[in-house]
Amino acid sequence: MANATPAPSATSGMRPGIGLIYGSLLRADFTVLRRSGRTLLLNIAVPILILIIFDLHKGNKPNPLTAGGAGFTIGLALTYGLMASSLMGYSLAVARDRDAGVFQRMRVTPAPTWAIMTSRLVVQIIVDLIMTVIVVIIGGIIYQTAYNPGQYLLLLGVSILGGAMFLAIAQAVVGLIRSVNVVNAVGRILYIVFLLLGLLGASAILGTTVKNISDWSPVGALINLYGGILNLSNWDGTCTNGLIATIGYILIGAFVGIRWFRWETR
């Protein structure tokens, strides 16, 4: 037993610093994301497509989905991008890596477990911020709307909150479900439900009850939050409720995702 004590010291002396470890993880995760055409499509191309489609369908007839103007449409496009990349991108990627044993192999490396997961989350948030800037610039051109630096900072801040919310929900899904196929199916179902609930609530075609429920849904809350910071003079209780709901989803999703996440499928 006495001969076993020097070994950990020698090993720990060769352990790379956390900065080097985390930098390597970030570079690896960025490389994987850059090579994933589907993820980049969900992040950037589809939100831009939403802007174009809504602009083409403005028309001269009243439309409850376009009555909100540039603020609503840009908020919807950003919300779509954040939700799609998390529920149909991040969750499936984590589930597949877990099923392939990637996380098990990484856990035997010097990288701490918290660094392995947060590296992926940080990369996703950075891509979300890039998407925000691109979509807002293109949306401003389409709708001939200019935003000042303060509004851009607020938009980036809301995108961080929104990205964290959908990533927390996606992490909860992966934490509760181990099967890759089931994670994929649940992610798609949640995406459709959230999107329809947000759109139906925004249009108010099903009455005030559905609208009130929608305002507290992830999509509805984030759209209202985007709309509020794009026009601070119209900030009201609905926008405040959107902020409260967004933070609530982050806390609940993070708790469930961390508490029940398993590094292997068995």
CB 208 within 8 A of CB 104: no
Q: pLDDT tens for residues 79-135?
A: 988 998 898 888 988 898 888 888 888 877 788 888 888 888 998 898 889 889 999
Q: Considering the chain, what percentage of its residues have pLDDT values greater than 70?
A: 84
* Alpha carbon distance 240, 221 (integer Å): 9
Computed over every residue of the chain, the mean pLDDT equals 82
pLDDT bucket at 69, cuts 50 / 70 / 90: low
* Alpha carbon distance 243, 157 (integer Å): 12
Two structure tokens written together for 20: 């080097």
pLDDT higher than threshold 90 for residue 150: no
pLDDT higher than threshold 50 for residue 9: no
Q: pLDDT tens for residues 11-41?
A: 445 667 777 888 888 888 877 777 766 666 7
